[in-house]
Amino acid sequence: MPSLSYLLARLLQIIPTFLLVMIFIFLLVRLLPGDPAIAMAEAKATDAQLEQIRHNLGLDQPLPIQFLVFVKNTLTGDLGRSIMLKAPVTEIILARLPTTVFLALYSVLLAISLAGPLAFLAASRVNGPVDVAIRSVFQVGLSMPVFYIGLVLLTVLAAQLRWFPVGGYGTGFLDNLHHLILPALSVALYTSAIILRNLRASLIEVLDADYVQFARAKGLSRRIVMTRHVLRNALVSTVTLLGLSIGNLMSGTLVTETVFAVPGVGRLMLEAIFARDYPLIQGLTLTFAVLVSVVFLLTDIVQSWLDPRLRQS
Q: Which residues pair with 81 in a beta bridge?
A: 88
Alpha carbon of residue 168 to chain centroid: 20
- Using CB under 8 A as the binding rule, the residues of this chain from 174 to 213 that contact other proteins are 209-211, 213
Q: How big is the site for other proteins, counted in residues (CB under 8 A)?
A: 73
Candidates 10, 84, 288, 298: give the one binding other proteins (CB under 8 A): 288
Site string for other proteins, 217-236 (x = CB under 8 A): xxxxxx-x---xx--xx--x
* Binding status of residue 113 toward other proteins by CB under 8 A: no
Residue 50 DSSP one-character state: H
Q: Shortest gap between Cβ of 45 and other proteins (angstroms)?
A: 20
Candidates 49, 113, 139, 227: give the one binding other proteins (CB under 8 A): 139
Q: Which amino acid is present at 245?
A: S
* Binding status of residue 9 toward other proteins by CB under 8 A: no
Candidates 121, 241, 289, 298: give the one binding other proteins (CB under 8 A): 289
Alpha carbon of residue 249 to chain centroid: 5
13 sits in which H/E element = helix 4-30
Q: Which amino acid is present at 107?
A: S
* Binding status of residue 285 toward other proteins by CB under 8 A: yes
The answer to whether 264 and 103 are in contact (CB under 8 A) is: yes
Of 256, 266, 273, the closest CA to residue 84 belongs to 273
* Binding status of residue 148 toward other proteins by CB under 8 A: yes
Q: Which residues pair with 88 in a beta bridge?
A: 81
Beta carbons within 10 angstroms of residue 183's beta carbon: 31
Q: Shortest gap between Cβ of 215 and other proteins (angstroms)?
A: 7
* Binding status of residue 21 toward other proteins by CB under 8 A: yes
The answer to whether 79 and 283 are in contact (CB under 8 A) is: yes
- Using CB under 8 A as the binding rule, the residues of this chain from 26 to 65 that contact other proteins are 28-29, 31-32
Ramachandran region of residue 94, left (φ > 0), alpha (ψ -120 to 50) or beta?
A: alpha
Name the residue nearer to other proteins (CB basis): 86 or 309. Answer: 309
* Binding status of residue 146 toward other proteins by CB under 8 A: yes
* Binding status of residue 298 toward other proteins by CB under 8 A: no
* Binding status of residue 140 toward other proteins by CB under 8 A: yes
Residue 40, classed as helix, strand or coil, is helix
Candidates 134, 185, 254, 262: give the one binding other proteins (CB under 8 A): 254
- Using CB under 8 A as the binding rule, the residues of this chain from 149 to 178 that contact other proteins are 151-152, 154-155, 159-160
